[in-house]
Structure 1
Amino acid sequence: MPTERREVQVRPGVEGDLDALTAIYNHYVRETAITFDTAVFTPEERRPWLLSHPEDGPYRLMVATEGDPEGDSQRVLGYVTSSPYRPKPAYATSVEVSVYVAPDAGRRGVGTLLYDALFKALAEEDVHRAYAGIAQPNEASGRLHARFGFRHVGTYREVGRKFGRYWDVAWYEKDL
């Protein structure tokens, strides 16, 4: 029997999403160099991260879900965040953005939907630039960021070590 394709919804992340968000992130910690974290997290360890992204303001967490928005059958497909770029006050109008999609939800446009929602939300905030660091190689992420007007501004060579090798990180910026 064919499965019914459900519409993907994007909404602010809530505490009830924490287990699913942690599972998605831990996949990338364990299996890829996309994040330079090297140890998986428990949901409780990720709670401060979630709480640092309120529903409004420049530091957002938005999730893509499918399923019944009124019921308990929502599945988290991915998430996007805007976070402080650096802790010093003069950086307050710059954000660093990240997007993570569940490993079985790729190539469905989830990342595009998430970035679209995030940048619409940030248009109402006092934010001037968005930055994204992309561990190399990652052509799909490069294409996603280019689609949203990011431009490559430089590459940190062999800046991180994971899985016994060094990785480059290409940095991109976008005017907001």
Structure 2
Amino acid sequence: MATGHTEVQVRPGSEDDLKALTDLYNHYVRETPITFDTEPFTPEERRPWLLSHPEDGPYRLRVATDADSQEILGYATSGPYRPKPAYATSVETTVYVAPHAGRRGIGSLLYASLFDALAGEDVHRAYAAVAQPNEASARLHARFGFRHVGTYREVGRKFGRYWDVAWYERRL
């Protein structure tokens, strides 16, 4: 699909993407409250995360790339909501877009691909946690049928201040 001036492809993530995905995530670790991780990762530290997203099953990794350069422009994942067995039909989803690739519809492409991939899985609900404020993420989640179900106040501390996290859910 063309977004802006660049053709974008969305595909499953692979081990070849590990360094670029780690670099993208580390931007958000170092520069934003969007993730509550506080220390950057090495690719080797992120390998278990990558390997926890196979090409089938409820825990997926979808990657958006520039069709010409193959540069990673963003990624979306579904992962376990909570570790206890009764939560197995619920997933937590997330999207990260490269800072220079925002406002081009890449998050929407990634979520569309992720939810298409999950359509045949035994998954009942998707949940998303969004550090506040983040209007772009709130709009993205609303566009995909998520509804706000609550906000945890001052639940995380990063950069010397407390942050709220809004929770969204969507039936699958």
Q: TM-score, normalised by structure 2?
A: 0.96
Give 1:22 deviation, angstroms: 0.5
Aligned-residue sequence identity (percent) comes to: 81
Q: Deviations over 1:45-88 (max 9, x none)?
A: 000000000001000001000134xxxx3110000000000000
Alignment partner of 2:171 out of 166, 171, 175? 175
Q: Give distance in 1, aligned partners of 2:18 and 2:143.
A: 29
Structure 1, unpaired ranges of 5+: none
Q: Give distance in 1, aligned partners of 2:138 and 2:87.
A: 24
Q: Give distance in 2, aligned partners of 1:6 and 1:132.
A: 28
Equivalent position SS for 2:6 = coil
Alignment partner of 2:132 out of 117, 133, 136? 136
Alignment partner of 2:83 out of 87, 104, 107? 87
Give 1:36 deviation, angstroms: 0.1
Task: Report the counterpart of residue 47 of structure 2 in structure 1.
Answer: 47
Structure with bigger gyration radius:
1
Task: Say yes or no: does 1:66 pair with 2:66.
Answer: yes
Question: Over aligned residues, Cα RMSD in angstroms?
Answer: 1.0
Equivalent position SS for 1:158 = strand
Q: Which amino acid aligns with 1:51?
A: L
Q: Which amino acid aligns with 2:164?
A: D
Task: Report the counterpart of residue 72 of structure 2 in structure 1.
Answer: 76
For 1:14-163, list aligned pairs within 5 A: 14-68=14-68, 73-163=69-159
Equivalent position SS for 1:7 = strand
Count of residue pairs the alignment pairs up: 169
Give 1:6 deviation, angstroms: 2.8
Structure 1 runs (4+) deviating above 2 angstroms are none
Equivalent position SS for 1:154 = strand
Give 1:5 deviation, angstroms: 2.8
Equivalent position SS for 2:121 = coil
Structure 2, unpaired ranges of 5+: none
Q: Which amino acid aligns with 1:24?
A: L
Equivalent position SS for 1:137 = coil
